[in-house]
Amino acid sequence: MLMATLMLGGLGIALGLLLGVAARVFAVEGENPLVKQIESLMPGSQCGQCGFPGCSAAATALVEGEAAINCCPPGGRALVEQLATLLGVSADSAGAAPVPMVASINEAECTGCTRCYRACPTDAVVGANGQIHVILQAACTGCAKCAEACPENCVSLHPEPITLDTWHWSKPQAA
């Protein structure tokens, strides 16, 4: 009886010590490396469409489970997949992937005030003072900062148009 108590007690203390040492030796320094990894995947345009102040904050929120993996429209389906793999969740867990949006300028109303192109984080707006501005669709992340900046309300956002180059077969409707 005594022997058994001593043995179990000894075992408990030894293992406890081992765990304590391991916690010290293998402690993760500083911030979660996952945050950095996720941040490097994100578009980095700090557009704020996710509701967090910038991509870094969104990455932290994602790791902490406060943001859904489909929170980033510019990242599209590809980002959702990558995040799902990294965070070990199913890609469909957050519902449908966001549709990437692009902005365009209604040329009839543009006064060429240059506010939108100063607001654009990716330099996707081309134009000069007093000239009509144009948005390069290939460089637009759909962050809507230009729409907020436009005094004429002539910037509109719409889903990326489907062309022959981007169209592909949809999944068959399963029976």
Candidate ranges 37-45, 58-66, 127-135, 144-152; the one touching another protein (CB under 8 A): 37-45
Question: Which of 35, 60, 83, 100: binder of another protein (CB under 8 A)?
Answer: 100
Cα separation, 112 vs 91, whole angstroms: 42
Cα separation, 43 vs 55, whole angstroms: 8
> Contacts with another protein: how many residues (CB under 8 A)?
34
Q: Is residue 73 involved in binding another protein (CB under 8 A)?
A: no
Q: What is the dihedral of CA 50, 142, 132, 153, to 10 degrees?
A: -50
Cα separation, 146 vs 101, whole angstroms: 13
| Contacts of another protein in 106-125 (CB under 8 A) | 121-124
Candidate ranges 15-23, 29-37, 39-47, 104-112; the one touching another protein (CB under 8 A): 39-47
Element (H, E) at 156: strand 155-159
Cα separation, 106 vs 147, whole angstroms: 11
Q: Is residue 139 involved in binding another protein (CB under 8 A)?
A: yes
Task: Give the footprint of another protein on this chain (CB under 8 A).
Answer: 43-46, 74-79, 81, 91-92, 100, 121-124, 138-139, 141, 162-164, 166-175
